[in-house]
C-alpha cells in the first residue's frame, strides 16, 4: 500500500513550518506529532469534545476533523501561542484566577475556543440564545451566551461553574 505525501506550510503560533505530511493526516496529528506542540489534546477524535480546539485562520476549529493538507498556508494558534512570552493570555490567567480547571485535559481546547468565541462576539455573530439577531455590533456575553457558545467544549471534571465566570471576567474587560 502506498502513501500519498504532500508538502504544506503552516504558520503556527507566528512561526512558519514546512512539513511533508500524509494526505490523511489531521491538523491535530501534524501539531502533536510533527511539530511537537502537545498542548492541543486528542480527546474523542470525532469532533465532539473540543479538547483539540485551535484557532485556525481567526476562527476556532476542532483540529481532529481538519485535514492538514486542506489548510496549506493557514494561520494556526494553539494554546502554546496564546501567551506573550512568560505573560499569560488574559484567558489563561483568568482560568488560573478562577480555578477553572481540575485535571486540565480539556483546558487548552476550552481556552482556545474561548479566544475564538470572544472574537466572534466582538464581530457581532449571534448565537442560538442571542436576543436580537439583527443587532449590529458586538454581542454582550452574559452567562447564557457563554454557555451556548462554549457548548462544544466538554469538561469531564465538571469545572463549568468556574469556566463560565473566568471567560465572563475577560469578556467584561474587553
Fold of 90-173: DNA polymerase; domain 1 (1.10.150)
- Give 54-68 pLDDT, tens digit per residue: 999 999 999 999 999
Is residue 1 predicted with pLDDT exceeding 60? no
The architecture in CATH of the region 5-82 reads Roll (3.10)
Grid cell, residue 140, equals 454582550
Ramachandran angles phi, psi of 130, nearest 5°: -65, 125
Confidence of residue 18 (pLDDT cuts 50, 70, 90): very high
Q: Percent of the chain, pLDDT > 70?
A: 99
**What's the pLDDT score for residue 114?**
98
- Give 108-123 pLDDT, tens digit per residue: 999 999 999 999 999 9
* Domain residue ranges of the chain, discontinuous segments joined by +: 5-82, 90-173
The span from the CA of 41 to the CA of 109, in Å, is: 7
Average predicted confidence (pLDDT) for the chain = 95
**What's the pLDDT score for residue 77?**
98
**What's the pLDDT score for residue 132?**
87
**What's the pLDDT score for residue 174?**
77
- Give 22-58 pLDDT, tens digit per residue: 999 999 999 999 999 999 999 999 999 999 999 999 9
Grid cell, residue 97, equals 484566577
The span from the CA of 52 to the CA of 43, in Å, is: 7
- Give 132-153 pLDDT, tens digit per residue: 888 889 999 999 999 999 999 9
Q: In what order do the strands lie in the sheet with 59-62?
A: 15-22, 5-12, 75-77, 53-56, 59-62
Amino acid at each position: 500500500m502506498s502513501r500519498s505525501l504532500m508538502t504544506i506550510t503552516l504558520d503556527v503560533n507566528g512561526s512558519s513550518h514546512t512539513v511533508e505530511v500524509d494526505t490523511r493526516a489531521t491538523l491535530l496529528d501534524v501539531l502533536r506529532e510533527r511539530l511537537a506542540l502537545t498542548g492541543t489534546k486528542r480527546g474523542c477524535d470525532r469532533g465532539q469534545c473540543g479538547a483539540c480546539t485551535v484557532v485556525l485562520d481567526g476562527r476556532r476549529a476542532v483540529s481532529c476533523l481538519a485535514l492538514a493538507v486542506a489548510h496549506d498556508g493557514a494561520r494556526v494558534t494553539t494554546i502554546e501561542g496564546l501567551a506573550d512570552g512568560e505573560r499569560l493570555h488574559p484567558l489563561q490567567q483568568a482560568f488560573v484566577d478562577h480555578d477553572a480547571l481540575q485535571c486540565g485535559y480539556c483546558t487548552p481546547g476550552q481556552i482556545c475556543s474561548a479566544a475564538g468565541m470572544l472574537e466572534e462576539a466582538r464581530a457581532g455573530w449571534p448565537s442560538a440564545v442571542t436576543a436580537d439577531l439583527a443587532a449590529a455590533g458586538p454581542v454582550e456575553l452574559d452567562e447564557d451566551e457563554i454557555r451556548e457558545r462554549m457548548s462544544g467544549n466538554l469538561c469531564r471534571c465538571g469545572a463549568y461553574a468556574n469556566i463560565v465566570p473566568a471567560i465572563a471576567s475577560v469578556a467584561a474587560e474587553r
